[in-house]
Amino acid sequence: MNKPLRHVAVFCGILILALLVRTTWVQFVQGDSLDNDAHNSRVKIRQYAQPKGDIIVDGKPITGSVESPSGSYLKYKRVYKNGPMYAPVTGYASQTQGETFLESIYKKPLAGTDNRFSLQRATDFFTGTKPRGADVLTTINAKAQEAAYKGLTDIGARGAVVALDPKTGKVLALASAPSYDPSVFAGESFKESDKFKALGADKSKPLANRALRETYPPGSTFKILTAAAALESGAVTDINAGSGAASPYRLPLSTTTVGSEAGNEVCDKASMKTAMQHSCNNVFLDAASKVGAEKMRETAEKFGFNKDVYDKELGDLLASKSLYPDKLDKPGVALTGMGQGSLTSTPMQMAMVTAALAGDGRLMQPYLVDEVRAPDLSTIEKHHPKEMSKPVSPQTARKVQEMMEFTAKEGSAKRALIDGVTVGGKTGTAQRGVDVNKEVPYGWFVSYAKKGDEPVVAVAVFIDPTAMDISREDISGGKLGAPIAKKVMQAVLD
């Protein structure tokens, strides 16, 4: 071979090698990112080329797929049953807006494009079987979900309800109001896109998942965590002994005093058990001050505060981070004792705190999906309960239970009582805004129910009464939240 031909052959060999390297790089290194690129229309065409798998509640699908109108280049679109009630669970799958929540997390299994289906897809190709996606089986209890959503909508509240199984971490109810129907903008028409824009512009924020993605000051419901921190640290040893905390209580290093709605006569130097019963602020302000910033924050973090939710700490929930701030001054630490100051929490987080205390100090990782099931009914993914932490000892948890159960029997949580069932509860009214007298407060309620000594369900109810026709005096967790919590607990128990 002469020299010019040899140069041409070597050059062609280099080109072929470069082509092979580039093809390998695209196929194996960039494959996933290209496959998920929002501008890759083939992905969307493939995703909607056949009916998706369904999201399942109590054995029944709450989603479906229908053929798109003629002229659409995407063959099928998503539809939802009881869409507004289940929207915080399913999220939405829209041909123009993308996906959220379970529709997003399990997008590939639902669409049947998951790599675990490669053999099934090959078999379907040769047999002519129509492809179909996997089903996602949730942990939701249909009756509890209905009780939660109906409880919020019946009183016209903006708010959220979360119910957990303390023993496993299963999410039994996840409701948010006002809500939306994902079916109305699932397609690609301009009309549907306009409906989505209108929902986004609505000041009542129907697209917001208040149960998972919105944070608020937890108010007096946080007192159950303050009590746990005080008992665990030794700052309080006897829940029946007088606290010595005066009412009204003067904040450390300050001339500002904080009173209690129950009145100074009841709350002055009250025991922690009495303070829980009447929600006396002074005792819990004093307890947080004695525990101190570091121990209060450490205890809160053991219950799930300050966790980065995007590292799968909350499994498939994608909840926003609840915040117990660092570097608080002494007045700031005291205010967190009553759930105020710069403290913020999601309803999911307060449900976790309640579930951990009801479960004798074991915090189970909340999860929303029990199983992912292939079209041939084989299980391709199964969730197993996982312990997140042990925030407090069983002895501490039982003392807090004693106080919460006393509060349900003799205090502000009576509206949650269920005949023949052990119920513990705690009300909460959270002030907000720079001038707390101008802004209507939030209402909170947390509770749990036991059968015998076994905790069955823990509930957190959050109420934003902004849009309600209600006087300021009638805004409280006990009046608004406790009846909802009771119905949710009854639904689970039944």
Catalytic residue numbers, as ranges: 220
3-state SS, residue 447: strand
How close are the terminal C-alpha atoms of the chain, in Å?
88
3-state SS, residue 28: helix
**Any idea how long the chain is?**
494
Report, in angstroms and rounded to the nearest whole number, the Rg of the chain calculated over CA atoms: 27
- Half-sphere exposure for 296 (CA within 13 Å, toward CB): 33
Q: Give the whole-angstrom CA distance, residue 203 versus residue 434.
A: 21
Q: Give the whole-angstrom CA distance, residue 246 versus residue 256.
A: 13
Q: Give the whole-angstrom CA distance, residue 310 versus residue 333.
A: 27
Q: Give the whole-angstrom CA distance, residue 366 versus residue 353.
A: 11
351-381 burial, b at 16+ Cβ within 10 Å, e below that, comes to: bbbbbbbbbbbbbbbbbbbbbbbbbeeeeeb
DSSP secondary structure letters along 132-200: ---EEEE---HHHHHHHHHHHHHTT-EEEEEEE-TTT-BEEEEEEES---GGGGSS--HHHHHHHHHHH
109 closest CA partner among 428, 364, 403, 373: 373
Structural contact between residues 322 and 349, judged by C-beta atoms closer than 8 angstroms: yes
Which residues have C-beta within 8 Å of that of residue 147, sequence separation ≥ 6? 173, 484, 487, 488, 490, 491
173-202 burial, b at 16+ Cβ within 10 Å, e below that, comes to: bbbbbbbbbbbbbbbbbeebbeebeebeee
Give the other-Cβ count within 10 Å of 435's Cβ.
7
Structural contact between residues 464 and 252, judged by C-beta atoms closer than 8 angstroms: no
Q: What is the DSSP letter of 435?
A: S
Q: Can the peptide bond before residue 217 be classed as cis, meaning omega within 30 degrees of 0?
A: no
Which residues are paired to 426 by β-bridges? 446
